Amino acid sequence: MTPEEIYEKVQQNLSQVGFEFHVFKVGWYNDKVKPEFHLNYEYDTMIILVLSTPDMFDKAFKPYLLRTDCLGVRDPIDECMTFHFKQMKECFQDIEIESIHDFEMDHNRRPKILVQTAGHVAGAAYYYQRSDVDPDPWSKEQKIFGVSIHPKYGGWFAFRGVLIFKNIMYPDLEQKKPVDSVPSLELRKELLERFNFHWQDWSFRDIFLVEKKYSEEQKEYFGTEPKNRAPLVERMRKGI
């Protein structure tokens, strides 16, 4: 199978249930991150980033809840993502794939994949970091986490992980730049401050007028602490 055919098959399988896929090379990612985060594959190895759009909740998650009894499940969203990743891998019986979810940590408790950097090099979502606001307006002691912004959904999406096609090389792939939807320094500062200091009010997600955002039900779900989500799961399972 060619890399183009693989990408096409992934798209066909899952874009109708609210996921988006962006292909890139392992080397582009390794060029950016420190050695301790490197993925141990050749430069041209094909890798696909998976993200969920606002549609995933209704099109993948709720149907998943109806199909399974979620009793004793640690995090139903993570389980649902694991299910879909597994299903994707099963479409490629003869191809070796390593999948890494956004929530997986290595033995040093470091994330196995930095999805924001992956999203940037794959051209999926611009990763705004402290270094993107120059001169730096914050005190040296202040920790400022970076945030990715999608051109259609602003902050109303989540990265779900990557699929690494271990033996598929994609030397001809051309790199796409991510869309810079927050070009002004003033707005970048505002974005990083909203993400770091007011992330609970969701406002960083609306840094510009987005095409689609989470439904009220989805906001209620993600706004509730995982340990308190069981009644919401039950309600959705009963279709109330």
Residues that bind ligand B12 (CB under 6 A): 32-34, 37, 102, 111, 113-117, 120, 127, 129, 145-148, 155, 158-159, 195-196, 199
Among residues 99, 152, 104, the alpha carbon closest in space to that of 124 is found at 152
C-beta of 121 vs 168, nearer to ligand B12: 121
C-beta of 78 vs 95, nearer to ligand B12: 78
Q: Which residues of 78-113 are buried (b: 16+ CB within 10 A; e: fewer)?
A: bbbbbebbeebeeebeeeebbbbbbbeeeeeeeebb
C-beta of 34 vs 140, nearer to ligand B12: 34
Shortest approach of ligand B12 to residue 94 CB, angstroms?
Answer: 29
Half-sphere exposure of 110 (CA within 13 A, CB side): 11
C-beta of 36 vs 174, nearer to ligand B12: 36
Shortest approach of ligand B12 to residue 189 CB, angstroms?
Answer: 15
Shortest approach of ligand B12 to residue 157 CB, angstroms?
Answer: 7
Shortest approach of ligand B12 to residue 167 CB, angstroms?
Answer: 25
Residues 6+ apart with CB under 8 A from 30: 38, 39, 43
